[in-house]
Amino acid sequence: QTVVTQEPSFSVSPGGTVTLTCGLSSGSVSSSYYPSWYQQTPGQAPRTLIYTTNTRSSGVPDRFSGSILGNKAALTITGAQADDESDYYCVLYMGSGISVFGGGTKVTVL
């Protein structure tokens, strides 16, 4: 079974830039996997950030951007702010109706 991989954690300084990635245990991620990204803080429902690789959801600041970098989907936070400290999840559509989430990345801003 294919596993969706994410870095377990990242630390970024306020105002800094961080790029989170979303890969496959076997193969490369492309736009045909419709990668999307979600932000979640403790006790809250996830919030949609990015879908179809690089489309920002309504109300999402433009410091969040999505892309394909090499063989992975990527979420870049440019000019990180304190309230960006959250868990970030990607999800990939595997085909045949099935989607799979990555394990999530915990981002610390300090």
Residue 25 within binding range of another protein, rule CB under 8 A: no
Residue 108 within binding range of another protein, rule CB under 8 A: no
Site for another protein in 38-57 (CB under 8 A): 38, 40, 45-48, 51-52, 55, 57
Residues 6+ apart with CB under 8 A from 82: 14, 109
Cβ atoms of residues 105 and 85 within 8 Å: no
Q: Of 84, 103, 76, 92, nearest to 36 (Cα)?
A: 92
For CA atoms 88, 94, 95, 98, the dihedral sign is negative
Q: Which stretch binds another protein (CB under 8 A): 9-17, 22-30, 66-74, 94-102?
A: 94-102
Question: How many residues touch another protein (CB under 8 A)?
Answer: 26
Q: Which residues bind another protein (CB under 8 A)?
A: 1, 34, 36, 38, 40, 45-48, 51-52, 55, 57, 87, 89, 91, 93, 96-104
